[in-house]
Amino acid sequence: MPRCCSPNCVRSSMRRRPVDRLHRRPGPCEWEKNVMKNASSHHPVSTAAPSFLSLLDVHARLNEIFLLHQEALLMQDIHLARERLLQFERELLAHMMFEEERLFPIYERAGRIPGGPLELFAGEHRKMRLFLDRFKQRLDGWIPPPPDLKRQIIALFDEQAMFKHLVEHHDLREQNILYPTLDRVTDERERQQLLHLKGRSRS
């Protein structure tokens, strides 16, 4: 181990009288500074370029809102469940519209992608809209609540399980195919502009 000549070094001060150590201000010695400098050079600060994968945060938020809707259903609070479903619908439709109007035309630059044709993503969007229309109709029919409300909520959960399965697979396709392909066919400036536009649409 290198010998340190700094008077503030702990190893150096060990050879001094105890009273000297008590009155000396602690601080890193040159050897310690070099160790920290070398360690930081092997772990540079990441400056990641913008990526469409950041849109996965939108997916996570949507999933959370839908769970809040289902929690309200468990409490048989139909008004709250409907309010949260409408919030989920607003944010999901805005997200899908951004993809369809802004991202899908860019995705076409890549040509035909195995396992990820554009019509597959668009078709799944249509299916999600149909599911949401049925959910809203179901909740509208529960005001006032019917006598068998609990049984009808169970039936709705079964239908929503199919919806969540569709959303899960759709999100995975976007994570593994759509967003990485968009990153590949765009440059950093275009990604920044589109993601900034997406951020403004949420505010």
Tens digit of each residue's pLDDT, the chain (203 residues): 445 554 444 444 444 444 444 444 444 445 444 434 443 444 443 347 899 999 999 999 999 999 999 999 999 999 999 999 999 999 999 999 999 999 999 999 999 999 999 999 999 999 999 999 999 999 999 999 999 999 999 999 999 999 999 999 999 999 999 999 999 999 999 999 999 988 866 64
Q: 138 and 62, same structural domain?
A: yes
Q: What is the pLDDT of residue 49?
A: 83
Q: 77 and 138, same structural domain?
A: yes
Q: 189 and 156, same structural domain?
A: yes
- Please state, in angstroms and rounded to a whole number, the distance separating the CA atoms of residues 14 and 21: 8
DSSP 31-83: HHHHHHHHHHHTSPPP-PPP-GGGGHHHHHHHHHHHHHHHHHHHTT-HHHHHH
Q: What is the pLDDT of residue 13?
A: 43
Tell me if 128 sits within 8 A of 167, measured CB to CB.
yes
- Please state, in angstroms and rounded to a whole number, the distance separating the CA atoms of residues 198 and 55: 9
Q: What is the pLDDT of residue 15?
A: 46
Burial degree of 16 (CB within 10 A; 0-12, 13-18, 19+): exposed
Q: What is the pLDDT of residue 202?
A: 61
Total number of domains constituting the chain: 2
Residue written as tokens 């050897």?
31
Domain that holds residue 24: 1-47
Q: 72 and 15, same structural domain?
A: no
Q: What is the pLDDT of residues 76-131, one digit of tens each?
A: 999 999 999 999 999 999 999 999 999 999 999 999 999 999 999 999 999 999 99
Q: 57 and 133, same structural domain?
A: yes
